[in-house]
A and B are shown apart, each in its own frame.
Chain A
Amino acid sequence: MRALTWHGTHDVRVETVDDPEIINSRDAIIEITSTAICGSDLHLYDGAIPGVQPGDVLGHEFMGRVVETGKDSTLEKGQRVVVPFTISCGGCFHCKIQQYSACQNSNPAEKQDMSATLYGHPMAGLFGYSHLTGGYSGGQAEYVRVPFSDFGPIVVPDHLDDDQVLFLSDILPTGWMAAENAEIQPDDTVAVWGCGPVGLFAIQSAILMGASKVIAIDHYPNRLALAKQMGAEIIDFRKTSVREALMEMSGGIGVDAVIDAVGMEAHGFAIDNMIDIVKQKVGIGADRASVLKQALLAVRPGGRVSIPGVYGGMTDKFPTGALMEKGLQIRTGQTHVQRYTKDLLKKIEEGTVDTTFMISHRLPLEDAARGYKCFREEQDSWTKVVLKPGMKD
């Protein structure tokens, strides 16, 4: 089959690799119809996540048709499914309490040591996201092997097209969980850093949850315009002093909740960020956490901090004083996708959430490498790229 493979920093290629096979009895093979490039993929593309190996097939946002099933899969050939990026068994301690992204049984035993050493506990398996999370082949390909197919994938009705439901695989639940983690109350003013797909869905979710004001921060005019279109007030961090503006826009109280939808590769020329950029270039494991630091200072005392943005290593000059002295709460994590897919599918069917507004480009899979390059270098106009293996160019 054809698949997008990683070969090094800023080097991804569409190549021919072996087709996936059913290995375990709960597996299914899916023929991909649509798959997206995520901001998380850019961390791999930029070489900021350890444990990626040359030849690894990337992609964790995908959907398609079931073409083969193991004997214990509950899926049927021909069904159309969206697959959560988190691989979860459904039966372990964490799955039973709906902490699906902490599943204890999806990351192969021999792959767990690396993340256990880094984080104190192993990570769960994720599709196409380095060997820290299992080294599973991802979905930017014609076919993919899906373990625990009786538990994760959600069957979608034919009257909804791919573009409407594809994002149930990651960014829609991620934006939703980001807002949920911010514990939004009706009178809240909420600040969201980053107007990429995750930030945009977080904005939409925060508004649906009843926030009285959402303030979106970025520097790309087109992305800020999308945030405005979703109902947010906007701040361009290149032109405006963010902390001062947030204080004023929240009536001098400070924002009640902050959402960091940027993560470890923040842009900008703040001095701490420049130092962190250098560290990230010379070694593994240094996170550029300038957005998180800003957010901790901007949030009001007793406020809530939600971090959907991905971090993978360590950071220094972390404002522990602001955290403690202001009595803040922090919630974060890889999204527990399976917890949200059903409800969000309903919201899509009812028309309560809009999922297609951010798609800027649809490309054949063969053009995936160009998709990565442009999504990274022309972020303003390339807001979300969907790859279609069947598409003729």
Chain B
Amino acid sequence: MRNDRDLGLAGTVAGVGLALGGLAFGAFLTQRRKGGGDDAPFYTRKSPDSDDAVLGRTVTIRKPRAELYEFWHDFGNLPRFMENVETIRSEGDHRVWTIKAPGGRTVDVRTEVSEDTQNRRIAWRSVEGSDIETSGSVEFEDAPGQRGTRVSLVMSYDPPAGEVGRAIAKLFMREPEVQARHDLKRFKMLMETGEVATSARTKDQTRKAKQQENG
């Protein structure tokens, strides 16, 4: 459905929606959902049994679990591979994520760490009163043999309620997933090669490429 009303709405919610997309990583899964009766991760089910938008991805990285956990544990490192996140700074128990939004603006989202199991799992969620309710977790598990570590990232967000919320969900449901997939691949690149691959020929082109991806 794409009538005029929807389009009008799209303009007014675009900022929030894109910020949501950018926040894909600053999201967290608050509760485990029941599996589908097989051994596959729940987020690969054909019809998710939750209203939340849930995304999940796994990559295998040829580095020890502890090293990857350490890197992620310092949230200040994350903007090195999360293209939409400008900075993450600590304020007491909170982390403030500054996320790029359209038109050169930024949006701040405040999160707290809700679980921290050394070398295994880190989870975070937005604090109460945040414009965007999101949550995320990253898990580290030994891969078989010499393959390194399996890193799984799961995140969810409650699409804001009401008509506006539904419009946001409809418009931006795919974006966080794409962003998450790319960011996780960049994390792998950074850990395995020390850098994030770019095909740019000049430094200028790399900046352009980033802006493009931010839409």
Contacts and interface: CB of A to CB of B under 8 A. Distances in A.
Interface of A: 17-21, 23-26, 57, 72, 89-93, 96, 104-113, 125, 134-137, 145, 147-148
B66 interface: no
A107 B197 contact: yes
Contact of B182 (A91, A105, A109): A109
A135 B189 contact: no
Contact of A24 (B183, B188, B198): B198
B62 interface: yes
Name, among A23, A26, A134, the residue most crowded by chain B CB atoms within 10 Å (CB to CB).
A23
Most buried by A among B62, B146, B147: B62
Contacts of A89: 189, 192-193, 197
Interface residues of B, number: 29
Contacts of A93: 60, 62, 147-148
Contacts of B199: 108, 111, 125, 134-137
Contact of B201 (A20, A91, A110, A113): A20
Contacts of B50: none
B202 A21 contact: yes
Pairs A-B, 8 closest by C-beta atoms = A109-B185, A109-B182, A24-B195, A136-B199, A89-B193, A134-B199, A137-B201, A135-B199
Nearest to B146: A96
A25 B200 CA distance: 14
B193 A91 contact: yes
Contacts of A108: 196-199, 209
Interface in B6-56: none
B141 to A, nearest CB: 16
Given A91-B62, A93-B60, A23 B206 contact: yes
B197 A106 contact: yes
A91 B197 contact: no
Nearest to A145: B201
Contacts of A57: 201
Contacts of B186: 109
B55 to A, nearest CB: 15
B194 A105 contact: no
Interface string B172-215: 00000010011101101100111111111111101001000100
A72 B194 contact: yes
A148 B193 contact: yes
Given A93-B60, A93-B147, A109 B202 contact: no
A137 B200 CA distance: 8
B200 A92 contact: no
B60 A21 contact: no
Contacts of B213: 110
Question: Could you say which of B147, B196, B199 has the most chain A C-beta atoms within 10 Å of its C-beta?
Answer: B199
27 contacts: A18-B201, A18-B204, A23-B202, A23-B206, A24-B195, A24-B196, A25-B194, A26-B194, A89-B189, A90-B193, A92-B192, A92-B193, A105-B192, A107-B197, A108-B199, A109-B185, A109-B196, A109-B197, A110-B182, A112-B182, A112-B185, A113-B181, A125-B199, A134-B199, A136-B199, A137-B199, A145-B201
Interface of B: 60, 62, 146-148, 178, 181-183, 185-186, 188-189, 192-204, 206, 209, 213
B202 A105 contact: no
A115 to B, nearest CB: 13
Contact of A26 (B188, B195, B201, B206): B195
B143 to A, nearest CB: 9
A108 B186 CA distance: 8
B40 to A, nearest CB: 17
Contacts of A90: 193
Given A93-B62, A109-B182, A18 B193 contact: no
Contacts of B195: 24-26
A21 B203 contact: yes
A148 to B, nearest CB: 7
Contacts of A26: 193-195
A108 B200 CA distance: 10
A240 B178 CA distance: 53
A207 B137 CA distance: 57
Nearest to B183: A109
Contacts of B198: 23-24, 108
Most chain A CB within 10 A, of B146, B148, B189, is at B189
A92 B59 CA distance: 11
Nearest to B178: A113
Best-surrounded residue of B60, B194, B200, B209 (most CB of chain A within 10 A): B200
A29 to B, nearest CB: 10
A19 B204 CA distance: 11
Contacts of A25: 194-195
A57 B195 CA distance: 24
B148, B198, B203 — most chain A CB neighbours (10 Å): B198
Given A18-B204, A23-B198, 11 more contacts: A20-B201, A23-B200, A23-B206, A25-B195, A105-B188, A105-B189, A106-B197, A107-B197, A109-B181, A113-B181, A125-B199
